[in-house]
Structures are given as C-alpha cells and as structure tokens.
Structure 1
Amino acid sequence: MSTTKPVHAAQSRFPVVDGVLHVGGVPLTRLAQRVGRTPFYAYDRKVVSDRVRQVRDCLPDGVRLHYSIKANPMPALVQHMAALVDGLDVASGGELKTALDAGMAPECISFAGPGKSDAELAQAVAAGVHVHAESERELHALARIGQELGIAPLVVIRVNPDFELKGSGMRMGGGAKQFGIDAEEMPRVLALAAGLGLDVLGFHIFSGSQSLKAEAIVEAQAQTFALAERLAQSCRHPVRVLNIGGGFGIPYFPGEAPLDLAPIAAHLRQALPHVQAALPQAEVSIELGRYLVGEAGVYVARVVDRKVSRGQVFLVTDGGLHHHLAASGNFGQVIRKNYPVAIGNRMGGGQAEVVSVVGPLCTPLDLLADKMELPRANVGDLVVVFQSGAYGISASPAGFLSHPNAVEVLV
C-alpha cells in the first residue's frame, strides 16, 4: 500500500511500501543492490504493457499500432515491445539492427529520418523494410540500389504537410522543415518516382509530437486523412500504407493534465470508414514512442554529498545531465521546469526541506531539481526522477567529462 501522497501522477504507477518506492515489484533499495551501482535507469515492463493495452482498447480495429524506437532503443525493451505492437519505426541503421534483432518481421519495420546514407538505404532495401524517403536524392538512390541488388525497394514517401500539430512540444510539419517532402511538391515527386520505376506504397504524414491537447490531435488527424486522399489522386498505384504519426504527449510538469484518449478514439472510429472507402487498400498505422514508454521509466542517482551554500541546500548526486539531459532542462525547454523528483527510499514523508539536486559535472547546467521541496536526504539516499522512460540516456551527452555510463534494466 502507498504510504505517501504521490509527488506527481506518474508516481502512482509505482507503489510505495514502508516508505520505499517499488519498480517492477522490487523495492528500490533492493533493485539498486541488484544493479550493483548507480546511476541507473529502470523500466517497468508491466507499466509498458498496461499502456499498450490501454491504447489498443481505444483504437479501432483498422488502425495498427507502431512503436517508435527513437523514444527508447534499449534492446530488451524493444524486444518486449515487439511482442506487443504491430510494427517498429526506426531512424538509423543502428536502430534498424535493433528492430530486426528483436524479431519483428521486416515488412513491419519502417525506416524514416532525413539524411540516410547510401549504406543505410542499401541495408534497408536488403532487409526488406519500408523505407520512408525524405528527399528526391533518396528516391534516386533507392532506384539505383534496387537495380544493383535486384530487389524492389519498399518505398513510402514522408510528406511535410502544410499544417502543424497545434500546441505540440515539437513541431515536425508545416512551414519549412528538414523532414519529408513538401506537400505541394508531391505530384511532381510522385511522377519522378514512377519514372524511376519505384512503386510508392503510400505516405508518412507526421505533424508534431508531445501534445496534451486531444482536440489538436483530432484536428491534425483529420487534416492528415484529407491530405492523403488528395495525394492519392497523383499516385500511379493504390495507396497501401498510411502512417499518420502520433503526437501523443505525457505530462511532465505541474499543472499539466494527462492526454484524454477518448476524443481521439471517437474521431478515429468516425473517420476510418470514410478513409477505408477512399483508400480501400491502405493500411493505417499510428506511430507512438514517448506515450508508450515515457511513464514506465525512472532514473535513479545516489546522493554523494550534501552541501549548504549561503543558506541553499544542494544534494550532489553521481548522476546528472550527461545521463538525463531532458531532466536538466537542456533538451528543448525554453523555461526550465522541474521533472517530478523524489527521494526513493524516503517516501514516507517526514521532515521536508527545499533543496537543489545537482550532478557531478563542472557546469551549473547540471541540475536535476531546482529549489524543490523534498524529504531531508543524506549521503547514500536515492534520488528518483520520474517520467524517464523516453529520451533519456540515448538523448544525453554520455561522454561529457568521461563519467561512467548509466546502467539500464528492464524489470
């Protein structure tokens, strides 16, 4: 049973027993002993499975669910996810290898991202995965590689739409972008692809990520379907693939509410019959990363020093921005805000104090919590950063100052 009020809604996914946080059913103190050292990331497989099940319960039967590996490419986690979802989306040759090693069928893997090398394109064609072409250069390269290998490339074109996901944390479409091919150029580019002998399977239309506004996601999906239907008029072959991206966000900061899936699900159920009538051969997929794994992970660092400077208390830990850039506020935050943080072995309340949690690096940017009220902690206690299952260690400058890498475990 929980013995303290959660510091954030995300903490409610991890029970507290006798004042100690549990991850994957294991007390944090015992988990730290099993791992053998700090800092480490721990991902709770049950939380991941529950989230996938929640999404599947909301999606209509005609929509496939893909996991975007860039959110968290830990091999054990990807292998676990491969058994739960319909496909995996990758953004590099390294992620492609991870997806194939996880046992996902090649035809259920898609490879997107600008600036793919010829070697990566050849790897993708040889493996038989869907290649999401993002430029005319990639189309020319795919045609040449297909001829050289004697394999017909499975080509999907990523489209830079003429709209964006409103209110999203990261806008991936609309305006001038390095992603995809501008929507207004698509008739010409589709003719180019046909002239190169490429069979374009369909489109990948992604307008933004990290949105907590259901109405914005519904609007973007409606515009995506309309754009796909317009573009289909310029295709030589029927559209067989339509990846509508995702954009589902998770709450990180005070005042943010979880995304309400109900309006999104209702819109998809209403819109899908029309899409299926207009594009009868199209397989519609939704691509989610952060939403599936972000709330399932915690980052754990140990307090190695306690200092007071001019009345301000600092807890110095063995972890920091080199492992968790996002929590430090240096991964896209305009105004720095604290991630939800707790003292994982002191969850039972007790004396509280306002502290700043910092890492061991020689920069004032190395800040995990700024002037945050936490239970009084001492050397040896465990600092926990919630909402750390996505864009954690793989999105951080692990080589900075040459400290040891963080460990990752799936429990």
Structure 2
Amino acid sequence: MSVAGTVRGRVVGEQLAPGGIPIERLAARVGSTPFFAYDRALVTRRISAVRAALPADVELNYAVKANPMPALLQHLSGQVDGFDVASGAELRHALDTPVAPARVSFAGPGKTDPELTQAVAAGVTIELESTGELARVKSVSTALQIPARVALRVNPDFTVRGSGMRLGGGPQQFGIDCEQVPAMLATLPDPRVEFQGFHVFAGSQNLRADSLCEAQRRTVELILRLADAAPVPVRYLNLGGGFGIPYSSRDVALEVAQVGDNLEVLMTGLVRPTLPEARVVLELGRYLVGEAGVYVTRVVDRKQSRGKTFLVVDGGMHHQLAASGNLGQAIRRNYPIAVANRMGAGPTETVSVVGALCTPLDLLGEDVELPVAGIGDLIAIFQAGAYGLTASPTGFLSHPAPVEVLV
C-alpha cells in the first residue's frame, strides 16, 4: 500500500487509504477501531503487473495463507488461476469460490485424516509432505473409492539466499528430502493415487531478484532430474514463490521483470522441451495482497515515561503480530506508520506506538517521527494486507476481534 507518511523520515507514497477513501472517513464508515482494510483495485493492479512480467504459459496461484478473508478470495478467484491452501478451513473457503477443485492445491505438514478425506473427496491436489502422509492418503482413497490427486512437495538440496524465512534445504518439516523422492515415486503406480507432479518452495519474503532467479533455475534442474523416475509424465510443476515486499526504509522493491525474464529462459530452454505436458505454476501470497492492506487503530492514551512518549492504542500485536517483530524478524524494524487524520501535519515528535496487551512485546512503532497525536487520533500501519489478523494471537487477553473490510 502506498501511503502519505514517513518511515524514519522517508516519504513512502501518496495514497491516503484503500479505495482512495481518506482513512478518517473510512474509520467513520466502519464505525469502530481497530480494523483492517484491503484495496481490491491495488490487488488487481498488482496481479496485472505480475502477469505482464511472467511468461504467458506460467500460471499464477494465490497462497491463501497470506490472507484468507472470504470476500478477498472471491475477488481473487476472478484474477488468478488457482489457490494453494494449508488447512481444511482454507480449503473450504477456496471451494466456496468459482475456482475449480482441480486448480486447488493443499500443502503443509500435519494434515489430519479429516482434512485428507475432505481433499480427496473434493478432487484437489494434495501436495504430499511425507511417506506417512502418502500412506494415509491411500487409506482415505480406499475408504472413499476415489483416486487421490497427489504431487510431491520436495525439500531441495539447496537453500535460497536472501529469504526472510527458509522453507527448504537442510532438515525440514516441509516436504520430502529430494534424495528420498525416487524411492517414493516407485510406490506411486497405484490405482488409489493419480500422480500430478512436484512442488518446491524453498523460501519466502525475498527481495533479491538474482537470488530468486538462481532458486528457480536450481528448482527446474532438480525437478527435471526427479521427473525421470516419475510413473507418468509430469502434469504439474509448482515452482513456489517467495516474492517479498518492502516493509522498512532500508528495503528495496523486488525487480519482478528480472524474475520474469529468467522464467522465460527456463521455460523455453528446459521445461517445455522436457516436460511438455506440465502445467507450470508460480504461487504468490504476500506479493499479491501485502501492500494492499492497512491496519487502523485509535489512540486511547498518551503518556510520558522518563523522557519517552508513548501512544497507547486500542489494537496491537494480537491483531498485527508481524508489525511488532514477532513473526520471524531477526531484527525488528518499523512498518510504514502514520497518524492517519494528521497526514503531513506539523509539528512532529518522536514517539513509540504500543498496544493494549500486558507485554512489552506489544510494540507497533518504536521511536518513530510522527505528527503530534493525542487521544482519539488514528494510527495507520501499512503493508498490512498479508499475514496480519490470521497470523496473530487474537485470543491473548480476550480483546475484541477487529473488523475486516474490502473496499
């Protein structure tokens, strides 16, 4: 989300609010704080930009875990080629959209038997994380007398430089170690399973195009080696995603065109000549929706403590954990933050914005330069469209849940 505000003194944009509505007016419409607002026009614009950068024969899937809001999924269903889900609840949300079950994939460790039953019955592609999961899928298929669509999620023998979170390489709870894949493929000529292909997702939140290009090249080379042992021609190849978005003043936006050019070379030179039947998918979540969201909370107290000013708000890390630094950040950095009803106003002061929870970890903005704010003013935290509400400890201290709106 582009905003009129500052991040440690850096101007970060011009747009005032989702849908072009000033945040103060949007807050009046919602009727209460805190709330999340997501801008459908910005989502559509981002998807169009990604499609323009990608090869025409690379499909675009949305990773529902980034933001599973049902209204957002309905909007996305007309924009993307499929959904990737990671739980039974996400699967139900995906199946409630017009997206065909065959265009839904189900990844993630720890799938329960009821979730596997739901997935087999629906006809979605189950991305297997272990030999044990394969055995349970076969049992479910026998019970339902329905063959299961399956792909193997592969834990590669390389790591991705520059990723905020590594999901592949070394020992992992994610995927099947690539050296174990040939033996597992040997068990797949079975009427209970319909083998589709492979999924490799090695890292997330990566802003380095060169690193993503290298990861995609190594992924394609790995899959081509493994495909030799496949029981049938590969029909599905999920290259993962991992595209990052800038959160702080030191972050530089990803050069997505460079990644698209690299994919074009890989598709033309390697994938199409070797795997002509494969449907090639890029799976993105945060990159499609992260910058299209804002979290808005209201100042309920202003206090001084030994020379430091605190703005205490009615929200906090129980709604927007990532902004507090407690969602895997090695070094905490402030998200773009502004006093929404005092955009560009002076004078300014250095304050820390803290939430309503009984922990010093409930810190939304540390030593930020903002217009002088008081009780009743609105604090907006941007880049809040992904891994916000559903990635946060909403039950902590039993505060009310925030509203979510799509505008």
Q: TM-score, normalised by structure 1?
A: 0.96
Query: Is residue 318 from structure 1 mapped to residue 314 from structure 2 by the alignment?
Result: yes
| Residue 69 in structure 1 maps to residue 54 in structure 2 | no
* Separation in structure 2 between the aligned mates of residue 334 and residue 275 of structure 1, nearest angstrom: 36
TM-score with structure 2 setting the length: 0.96
Give the Å deviation of 1:23. 2.1
1 CA distance for matches of 2:240 and 2:171?
18
One-letter amino acid of the counterpart of residue 368, structure 1: L
- CA deviation string 1:314-334 (max 9, x = no partner): 101001011111101111112
8 Å contact kept, 1:10–1:386? no
Gaps of 5+ in 1: 16-20
Identify if the C-alpha distance between structure 1 residues 280 and 186 changes in structure 2 by more than 3 Å, giving closer, same or farther: same
CA distance in 1, matches of 2:10, 2:57: 32
Q: CA deviation at 1:150?
A: 1.5
Q: Which moved more, 1:115-124 or 1:268-277?
A: 268-277
CA distance in 2, matches of 1:308, 1:260: 43
Residues 163-188 of structure 1: CA deviation (Å, up to 9, x unaligned): 12111000000000000100000110
Distance change (3 Å), C-alpha of 1:46 and 1:120: same
Whether contact under 8 Å (1:3, 1:347) holds in the other structure is: no
- Which of 277-286 and 189-198 deviates more? 189-198
1:4 and 1:349 in contact (8 A); partners too: no
3-state secondary structure, aligned to 1:252: coil
Query: Quick one: distance in 2 between partners of 1:199 and 1:232?
Result: 15
User: What is the distance in 2 between the residues matched to 1:404 and 1:278?
Assistant: 54
How much has 1:9 moved relative to structure 2?
8.1
For 2:193 and 2:20, locate their aligned partners in 1 and report how far apart those are by CA, in whole Å. Answer: 51
8 A contact 2:127–2:151 mirrored in 1: yes
Paired position in structure 1 for 2:181 = 186
Identity %: 57
Q: Runs ≥4 in structure 1, deviation > 4 angstroms?
A: 2-11
Q: Is the CA contact (8 Å cut-off) linking 1:10 and 1:387 kept in structure 2?
A: no
The equivalent residue for 1:308 is: 304
Does 1:105 pair with 2:74?
Answer: no
Alignment of 1:183-262 (within 5 A): 183-194=178-189, 197-262=192-257
Aligned residue in 2 for 1:177: 172
CA 1:9 to 1:234, structure 2 compared with 1: closer, same or farther past 3 Å?
Answer: farther
Cα root mean square deviation, aligned: 1.6
SS at structure 2 position matched to 1:294: helix
Structural mapping, 1:262-277, within 5 Å: 262-273=257-268, 274-277=270-273
- Code of the aligned partner of 2:353: V
Q: Which runs of 5+ in 2 are unaligned?
A: none
> What amino acid is aligned across from residue 47 of structure 2 in structure 1?
V
Alpha-carbon offset, residue 125 of structure 1: 0.5
1:325, 1:395 within 8 Å by CA — same for their partners in 2?
yes
Kept after mapping to 1: 8 A contact 2:6/2:336: no
Q: Deviations over 1:265-320 (max 9, x none)?
A: 11111110221110111110000000000000000000011111111111010010
Deviations 1:22-64 (A, max 9, x none): 3212121111111110000000111101000000000111100
Shift of 1:103: 2.0
In 1: Cα distance, 2:141 partner to 2:70 partner: 29
CA contact (8 A) 2:295 2:381 kept: yes
Q: Distance in 1 between matches of 2:77 and 2:309?
A: 44
Which of 358, 380, 383 is the matching residue for 2:379? 383
Residues 386 and 5 of structure 1: is their aligned pair in 2 closer, same or farther, counting only changes over 3 Å? Answer: closer
CA distance, structure 2, for counterparts of residue 269 and residue 165 of structure 1: 20
Distance 2:399 2:192 in 1: 51
Given the alignment, which residue of 345, 348, 351 partners 1:349?
Answer: 345
